[in-house]
Amino acid sequence: MSVTYHWRKEPGARLPGSRALDRSKVQAPCIVRVPSGGFRLFYTAVGPAKPFPACQGYILSAVSEDGLTFRTEPGIRLAPQPLLPHMSLRVLAPTITPCAAGHWRMYFESRGTADRPTVICSAASSDLLHWELEEGIRLQNLGGVGGPRYAPLPDGRGRLYCCCSEFGPGGIASGQRISTSVLSAITSDGLHFEFEPGARLRDKQADYDTAGITAAEVIPPSAADDRWTMFFSAWQDAPLGTKVPLHPSHDANAVANGTSDDFATASIASDLSGYRSRIYMAYSTDGLVWERGGCVIDGLGYGGAGLDAIHAEDMSLIQIGPNEYRMYYAACDKDGNWRITSAVSEGREPRSD
């Protein structure tokens, strides 16, 4: 026997773009409970105050006492490093876990130029505010790996769920992604990872994931639910015949010809070219083999009302009561405005295995 969660969207945005650092686009939240009280929300952003012209995004933060009303914090938590080829343009999609001696580790997706695969790197902090980049790459493969989500395991190890892509002729620079799978990797020390055999989820198994899976967050078993629960965001492709502009992160000429200065505008144009994204559930008895469930967060679509009419993706969950959770997720409305919104689980319905 296990439990199915139902979700109620909370009104308003938890975090809109509101300043020169994040006015253009906000995405990919990560929520953390602060030891001294309250919450800190990390998120990916880009705006006119970006640290260098070619920069495509960085990680910012905001704090809240109640998890609903957030106050942005000054400065950038983590920025791209132009001198590091694998991290020269963008850092995004943080996931954070406590580690030894009161310290924290952040795993994040790292991007260089379009001809390089994305990788997962890490940074460490003693206060959740100041982060020091850790040397090297935590996880990589030929097609690129991103959207990391960390889950501690009962035996003291950790599992990193991530999204890995396969591209068609021309490789990564072509922008023609064939498939995206959710894979997992195991670590004993937080720094060295080994991929586990097989895929946890594969895309193109339903009409709602024809354009890939962008993140997969996992809740381990609890007293009320003896199965693992996964929440994942899936993109549906634009209708057949739609002219979809190349996303600037896949444009090998973007840096050379200067169009990366308008990264957010080009990115949003691609977002609104017919794609949809939604958040779904899956279940597992071991965290490795997964059975898909239903949709938990869905917008009204093009022309519809709501902050998440077009896109709902890249969720981050935090427990707020016994087997009760708040989900923060990136939402895009019909006009292309991206914000961080939230939903809370309410009511749980037993389901038979």
Q: What is the pLDDT of residues 165-182, one digit of tens each?
A: 887 776 666 666 677 899
**Residues 7-47: pLDDT tens digits?**
999 999 999 999 999 999 999 999 999 999 999 999 999 99
Domain count, the chain: 1
Percent residues over pLDDT 70 in the chain: 90
198 token code pair: 């097989």
DSSP helix/strand/coil, 86: helix
Write down the pLDDT at residue 4: 67
Rg (CA), the chain: 19
Comparison of pLDDT for 170 and 280, the residue scoring more: 280
| pLDDT for the residue numbered 1 | 47
Q: 335 pLDDT band (50/70/90 cuts)?
A: very high
C-alpha 318/C-alpha 303 separation (Å) is: 31
- pLDDT tens, position by position, 122-164: 999 999 999 999 999 999 998 899 999 999 998 999 999 999 9
pLDDT over 70 at 2, yes or no: no
- Of 208, 215, 274, 187, give the one whose Cα is nearest residue 94: 215
Domain ranges, residue 82 = 2-351
For 271, phi then psi, to 5°, come to: -55, -35
Say if residues 232 and 182 touch (Cβ distance below 8 Å): yes
Give the separation between CA 164 and CA 277, rounded to whole angstroms. Answer: 18
pLDDT at position 230: 96
Pull the structure tokens for residue 309: 């009419």
Query: What CATH number corresponds to the domain at position 175?
Result: 2.115.10.20
* Confidence (pLDDT) at 103: 95
Do the beta carbons of residue 27 and residue 339 sit within 8 Å? no
The sheet carrying 119-125 orders its strands as 90-98, 104-111, 119-125, 132-133
Helices (H), the chain: 254-257, 263-271
| Residue 173 vs residue 344, higher pLDDT | 344
Is the whole model's pTM more than 0.85, yes or no? yes
In this predicted structure, the answer to whether residue 281 has a pLDDT above a threshold of 80 is yes
Question: CA 41, CA 33: separation in Å to the nearest integer?
Answer: 9
CA angle 123, 264, 298 (to 5 degrees): 85
Q: pLDDT > 90: what percent of the chain?
A: 75
**Running DSSP on this structure, what letter comes out for residue 171?**
G
pLDDT surpasses 90 at 218: yes
